[in-house]
Amino acid sequence: MNLIKFNTQFFLVKFPILFPLLYGVILYTFPNYETELIIITILLLAETHFGATWPFLIDRVNYPFIIKNRVSLIFFPVIIVIFSIIGFFVVNKLFLLIFFAANMYHVTRQSFGVGKLYCFNDQEKKYQENLIYLINFIFFLIGYLRFYIPIINESNFFYVNVAVVLLLIILSLIYLFKFGFSENFLIFLTGCLIFYPICFVQNPVHAIIMGVTMHYTQYLYFTYKVCDLRNRVDENDNDKKQMFSNKIYNYLGIIIVYSIIMTGLSLFGKYEASILKNLMLIPIIGQMLHFYLDSQLWKFNDKFNRDNTLIYLSKIIKS
C-alpha cells in the first residue's frame, strides 16, 4: 500500500469526492434551495472552469502555436459556433444530445488524462483507460434511456442501480487485486464516479453538475498552476517582468468575469415562453468551444504542448 499524501492536490485533483458529497448533502437536505445550489455551483466552479480555457489559450507563450495552427485553433472554432447556432435552432433535441455526448467524452478524456499523469505502470494505465471509457459509456446510455426516451423509469430504476453498483464493486476489486490500493486507485475511482449521479438524480442538470464538480476542480487546479509556473519563468526574465507580472491576476479576472456573464445568461433558460431563453445558447457555445480547444491545448503528442504545458504538469504532480 502506497502512502497517500493528504494535501491540496489530493483533495482537488486525485480524489475530490468532497465536492459531489457536499453537493448531494445540500441537495437532499435542503431541496427547496435546489435552484440556488445549481446557480452557485455553476458560478463558482462550472463557468469558471469553462472560462479558464481562454487565459490558458491566449497566454503569450501560445502565440506561435496559434499562428502555426490557425486552421485548428481559429477556423474550426468558427465552424463550431456556426454549427451550434444552426443546431440549437433547427434540430434542438439532436443538438442537445450531441452536446451531452461531447460533454461526457470531454470529461472522460480528462479523467483518463489525470490518471496518466500519476500512473507509471503501463498495464495499470491501460486498465484505467479501458474501464473509465466503458463505465462512462454505460452512464451515457443510462442518461439517454432515462432523460431522452425514457425507457428507464420507476419500475426498473432500482435494478439499474443495483447492476451499476455491482459492476463498480467488481471492477474495483479486480483493480485492487491486480495493482493494490494506492492514489492511482482513487484517481481511477474518481473517473468512474463522475457521472454516477445519472443513475439516481431526478433533474438531469444534477447529472451534469454534481459529480462533474470533481472535473471542475481538477481543471481549475491544473490551469492555475501551469499559468503560475509560466509566470514565474517570465518573471525571471528582467526584460519581461513588467509585461508579465500580472498574468495570474489576468487569469483570475478573466474566469471571474466570464463566469458572472455566462451564469447570468444561463438563467434565461428558465423562461420557457420567452425569446430570452435563446440567450442560453451563448454559454452553450462557450462550452462547446471549451470541449474542442482543450483537445488541442492538452494534446501532448505535439512537441509545443509538451514543452510549454506538460513540462509544468510534471513539476506540479511531483510537488
| Cα 318 to chain centroid, rounded | 22
Domain membership flag for residue 252: yes
What is the model's pTM? Answer: 0.93
**Residue 2 counted as domain residue:** no
Beta-carbon count within 10 A of 138 CB: 18
What pLDDT was estimated at residue 242?
A: 43
Q: Which of 181, 174, 182 is nearest to 130 (CA)?
A: 174
Q: What angle do CA 60, 238, 224 make, to 5 degrees?
A: 45
312-318 CB contacts, 8 Å cutoff, 24+ apart = 312/225, 312/226, 312/229, 312/230, 313/117, 313/222, 313/226, 315/229, 316/9, 316/222, 316/225, 316/226, 316/229, 317/9, 317/117, 317/118
User: What Å distances lie between residue 203 and 27, 44, 100, 153, CA to CA?
Assistant: 11, 20, 14, 13
The range of the structural domain enclosing residue 220 comes to: 8-318
Considering the domain boundaries, does residue 60 fall inside one? yes
pLDDT at 235: 59
What three-state secondary structure class fits 175? Answer: helix
Neighbours of 190 (CB within 10 A): 23
What is the C-alpha to C-alpha distance for residues 196 and 55, in angstroms, rounded to an integer? 31
What local confidence, expressed as pLDDT, does residue 233 receive? 73
Distance, in Å, from the CA atom of 55 to the CA atom of 255, rounded to the nearest integer, reads 8
Domain presence at residue 102? yes
pLDDT < 50 stretches in the chain = 1, 238, 241-245
* Residue 121: partners with Cβ closer than 8 Å, 6 or more residues away: 179, 184
Q: Is residue 163 part of a domain?
A: yes
Residue 283 lies in a domain: yes
d(CA 302, CA 296): 9
Q: What is the per-residue pLDDT for 243?
A: 42
Question: Which ranges in 31-121 belong to alpha helices (H)?
Answer: 34-41, 47-51, 53-57, 63-68, 70, 76-90, 92-118
1 is a domain residue: no
pLDDT at 271: 67
In a domain, 3, yes or no: no
Three-state DSSP state, 151: coil
- Per residue in 126-168, pLDDT (tens digit) is 999 999 999 999 999 999 999 998 898 888 889 999 999 999 9
What DSSP designation does 210 have?
Answer: T
In this prediction, residue 244 carries a pLDDT of 42
Q: Cα–chain-centroid distance for residue 231?
A: 24
Helices (H) and strands (E) in the chain, counts: 19, 0
| Number of structural domains found in the chain | 1
